[in-house]
Amino acid sequence: MKTQRWFTPWVLVLPALAWLLVFSVWPSINTLRLSFTDAKPLGGDVDFVGLRNYTDMLHDGDVRTALLNSVIYMAICLPLLTILPLLLAVLVEKKLPGIAFFRTAFYVPVIASAVVVGLIWTWLLDDRGLINNLARHLHLITEPVPFLTDRWLLLISAISLTVWKGLGYYMIVYLAALGNVRKDLHEAAAIDGAGAVRRFLTVTVPGVRGTMFLVSILVSVAALRVFSELYILTGGKGGPGGKDQSLVMLIQQYAGGFYGDFGYASALSVLLFVVTLIPMIVLARLNLRSER
């Protein structure tokens, strides 16, 4: 008896395919289409403007600033969030009494809302915030450190927030990977006289190399798409002069409100897509080369 017709697999795949087409493929194609138009939120006549949005983008100082901020964000977050969580995971991997407390403590920032965390950091870093007040009382400073009003300090503050909030998440990813690193290799290395640092570099790191690659991809994509940290720390204004905006903030700014410019915002989205691809391709190439 024939139990399966030729179309059965297609029927099973259909819901997922429909989902993909409606929520991924179509918005993507539509974004690309809109990037060549002057589409507005309220509709009206939509004209094809060719490459105008893209040429405008090339001459837009705000885009250059946002791109630079996003790249700096990624360049700093990538090594920190790839290496620090691994070290943290190695520290809390051991089955010691009370170690669960530390694992939980390191993970708490991950489950805290980005908005709440952002607000707390704003209060900490404000001119009259805890850090400046403390430093003043200790006579370390006479004038408040402009954490939230200086372009670079603001960017560094946001990066610190991202790193602090992301550590616990990637630590958990590494903890899962560390469970698969063979214990006998560690024992053999120890018998050969390798110390803790040497065993970490020659056994642990190669054992979690695939996970490190995954984490670096996730971190680079997340860093290039950064929004909430910068948005909250700058009160949505992108810092003095808007010099601390990321690309996503710029897209949000152009796409929002009655006067939103969907065409330009879509062109910026395409730029973000391309920019996001670059580190992924570079990392993938590096990974391939090291695998050979």
Partner 1 sequence: MRIRNLTAAAAALALALTTAACGDAKSDTSGTSDKITGSITLQTWALTPKFTDYLNEVIAGFTAKYPGTSVKLLDQPGDGYSAKVLAQASSNTLPDVINLPPDFALPLAKQKLLVDVSKDNDLSKTYVQGGIDAYKFNGVAGVFGYPWYLNTDLDYWNVKQFKDCGLDANTPPATTQELFTQAATMKAKCPDNFLMSRKPDVSDFVRAGIKIISDDGKQFVFNTDQAAALVDQYKDAYAKGYLPPSVLNSDYQGNSKLFTQGKVAWTTGGATGLADFERDNPSLKGQVTVSKALDTPPLYVQGVSVSAKSKYPATAKAFAEWITNADNQNKFGHLVNIFPSTISSASDSYFGKDDGTPAGKARALAFGELKDAKNLIPYEVNSDMQKLLDQQIALAVKGDESGKKALDDAVAKMNQMLSRQ
Q: How far is the CB of 167 from partner 1 (least distance, A)?
A: 22
Other beta carbons less than 10 A from residue 22's beta carbon: 10
Give the list of residues 6+ apart from residue 80 with CB closer than 8 angstroms, or none: 163
Alpha helices in the chain (DSSP H): 8-20, 26-34, 52-58, 61-93, 99-111, 114-125, 130-137, 151-178, 183-191, 196-199, 205-207, 209-224, 228-233, 247-255, 262-291
**In whole angstroms, what separates CA 43 from the centre of its chain?**
33
Structure tokens at 233: 């720390």
Check residue 25 for interaction with partner 1 (CB under 8 A).
yes
Piece of the chain touching partner 1 by CB under 8 A; list 74-82, 98-106, 192-200, 277-285: 277-285
Q: How far is the CB of 115 from partner 1 (least distance, A)?
A: 13
Check residue 27 for interaction with partner 1 (CB under 8 A).
yes
Check residue 270 for interaction with partner 1 (CB under 8 A).
yes
Exposure b/e, 140-178, CB count within 10 A at least 16 = b: eeeebbebbebbebbbebbbbbbbebbbbbbbbbbbebb
Angstrom distance (rounded) from CA 78 to CA 68? 15
Piece of the chain touching partner 1 by CB under 8 A; list 82-90, 93-101, 177-185, 263-271: 263-271
Check residue 229 for interaction with partner 1 (CB under 8 A).
no
Q: How far is the CB of 22 from partner 1 (least distance, A)?
A: 11
Piece of the chain touching partner 1 by CB under 8 A; list 11-19, 68-76, 201-209, 264-272: 264-272
Check residue 280 for interaction with partner 1 (CB under 8 A).
yes
Where on the chain is the footprint of partner 1 (CB under 8 A)?
Answer: 23-25, 27-28, 30-31, 34, 38-39, 41-44, 46, 62, 122-123, 126-128, 144, 148-149, 213, 217, 221, 225, 232-243, 248, 253, 255-259, 261-262, 264-266, 269-270, 272-273, 276-277, 280-281, 284-285, 287-288
